[in-house]
Amino acid sequence: MHLAKQLFNLEDARLVNAYDVNINSCDDCKVCHHHPRCKHTDDMDSIYRMISEATTLIIVTPVYFGAFTDRLLRIINRLQMAFERKHTHQKPLAKLTHLHIVSTAGVNKEGMFDGVKLTGRILATLFDATHHHCFTFGGTDGIKDPSAHFKSLIRKYLTKLSI
């Protein structure tokens, strides 16, 4: 989040911390295949609403074992309902213009973000986002001041965002 705030003005953003919400796991029950809704009633209801009202979605995650954190993946898996709404029911949940990922990893290897990037592309396609980018920050272990350490990378990313 510290790095995401360097890239985006999040003052008016609606923030969801994946560790503060109660989300049931998707278990592929197929309810959303037959009806354009999810069987669960939980904090995902407000996340669905937020996404349906949004034009931009920014997902911020550290890399855990080459992927999103399990709490964030639990939210993302529940977007299977959005997939069924779009492809089976022709009632898309949302249409976004921008979908961005901001991700950090302990290792300084771009390949460490492959899983996060693939999921990002799947989500950008799901929501028809025309602007999609994955902003990666590798080699975070032992860094005391991320803003100073990633200063030139942040500047490069800000230039990319302004184009």
Ligand X SMILES: Cc1cc2nc3c(=O)[nH]c(=O)nc-3n(C[C@H](O)[C@H](O)[C@H](O)COP(=O)(O)O)c2cc1C
Residues within the interface to ligand X (CB under 6 A): 62-66, 104-107, 112, 140-141
CB atoms within 10 A of CB 14: 12
Shortest distance in whole angstroms from residue 110 CB to ligand X: 11
Q: How far is the CB of 116 from ligand X (least distance, A)?
A: 10
Residue whose CB is less far from ligand X, 92 or 106:
106
Shortest distance (Å) from residue 109 CB to ligand X: 7
- Gap between the terminal Cα atoms of the chain: 23
Select 13 or 29, whichever has its Cβ closest to ligand X: 13
Q: In whole angstroms, give the CA distance from residue 23 to residue 21.
A: 6
CA within 13 Å, CB half, 24: 10
Nearer to ligand X, 64 or 83 (CB): 64
At its nearest, how many Å lie between ligand X and the CB of residue 142? Answer: 9
Phi and psi at 112, nearest 5°, equal -65, -20
Could you tell me the strand order of the sheet in which 98-105 lies?
56-62, 98-105, 131-138
- Number of Cβ within 10 Å of residue 51's Cβ equals 17
CB of 59 or CB of 81, closer to ligand X: 59
Q: Which is nearer to ligand X, 129 or 136 (CB)?
A: 136
Whether 145 contacts 112, CB under 8 Å: no
Q: How far is the CB of 69 from ligand X (least distance, A)?
A: 8
